Amino acid sequence: MQNECRECGAKLKIEQTQCPYCGTSVTDADEQLLTQLTTIARKYKEGLAKANKIEIGKILTDSYKWRLSDGGIETLNDKKTLLENVQPDKNFVSYNIHEAELIERENNQAIIHCIQTVTRRSHFEKGKFEPYIERGTINFVHQDGHWLIISENTVTIDENGNEYE
């Protein structure tokens, strides 16, 4: 696959690491896509925390499905139900995505595997924070010129990467 300079748009050979026209360091197409997809995932999670239905609606496909396994309890959700029930999270502090890896890319679909951490203020101890960590897969589809989330499959894990039972 041919790379493109993110600054000047020049078409570059796959092995080029610097644009000969403007001098910008070049990342390959997979790295660029992974960055773009993780940004979308971040916008989605932050939109959820703020209950921003407009932002959430723009990021998810109409057929969106979410599956979470949390200590043996499985939760399933779809876009319609999610938008009907989303509430602002007044204890939300931050969202981060770690160890993101593009595991599949073909035509108009891409899949990333990652660790996601949502940090919230503790309900029980003032000044304390609680991380909520998930390991999972996020599936994207390219529609109408935009990457959208079509599904998520996640499991909660502890700080050591072990699933809760």
* Structure confidence by residue, pLDDT tens digits, 80-98: 999 999 999 999 999 999 9
13-23: pLDDT as tens digits: 766 777 888 88
Q: What is the pLDDT of residues 1-56, one digit of tens each?
A: 456 776 777 787 766 777 888 887 766 778 889 989 999 999 999 999 999 999 99
Instruction: Measure the CA–CA gap between 121 and 140, rounded to whole angstroms.
Output: 30
- Identify the pLDDT of residue 6: 67
Q: State which H helix or E strand residue 95 sits in.
A: strand 92-106
Ordered domains of the chain (ranges, CATH): 3-157 (3.10.450.50)
DSSP β-bridge partners for residue 129: 121
Dist CA 10 CA 16 (whole Å): 12
